[in-house]
Homo-oligomer: A and B are copies of this chain.
């Protein structure tokens, strides 16, 4: 099983959108898991219309939710009280992350897509130390602020010897610009996986609980299919 770490330093750049739609596309051909450990906002279930799901345990292990015959989902969101702020001190957080990383009854999987918290702080260090056989996919917009943050994530991934599968430019277009993520990829000698445009098709899908990738044939779906194709190609290059 390969672990694909979807990362960004800055929040709000579409990390969860990428993780959810990537896991859906991968599941069309391979048994795939989606693990959402974004402590700051475990939003993957909402994007899949699963936000009110109650999960079961079996022999003290967490049973993932079967979204389709090939896609299984586990999220921190399933474990927390929705209306309270998640205000966890370090040790409790570490414990929750450990449980989600170690104690989930996944079936045999080819891929486990992991939606990480943004940032490069304590939580990330803890998580990176627990990861074996993983590669990182870094999401950024073309804004200077975001690109600079992406550089920090690249450095972190490298310092933990986690191979970088590549960079994705999200929200590409007139408002947040385009091109800077590809530039960064070239400069850092990392694969550029493609761009996903800022588009209502994508932003609306966050509200409806129906991932945009399921509407085949839209511009956004095509862009993301291309990105996923590149990820699969690069996994071989970067992780084998």
Contact = CB atoms under 8 A, between A and B. Distances in A.
Interface of A: 9-13, 16, 39-41, 43, 46-47, 82-90, 93, 118-125, 143-145, 148-149, 151-153, 155-156, 159, 174-177, 198-200, 203, 206-207
A176 B17 CA distance: 14
How many copies of this protein are present in the complex?
2
B83 A144 contact: no
B155 A84 contact: yes
Nearest to A47: B145
Given A41-B10, A177-B207, A203-B175, A152 B86 contact: yes
B41 A9 contact: yes
A46 B125 contact: no
Nearest to A125: B87
Q: Enumerate the 4 nearest inter-chain pairs by beta-carbon distance, A residue then B residue, closest first.
A: A12-B12, A11-B11, A85-B156, A85-B152
Contacts of A90: 90, 122
A78 B132 CA distance: 35
Contact of A155 (B9, B10, B85, B124): B85
A203 B144 CA distance: 10
Contacts of A159: 85, 87
B123 A121 contact: yes
A206 B144 contact: yes
Question: In this complex, which of A87, A143, A153, A198 has the most chain B Cβ atoms within 10 angstroms of its Cβ?
Answer: A87
A103 to B, nearest CB: 22
A27 B70 CA distance: 57
Nearest to A152: B85
B88 A121 contact: yes
A88 B175 CA distance: 33
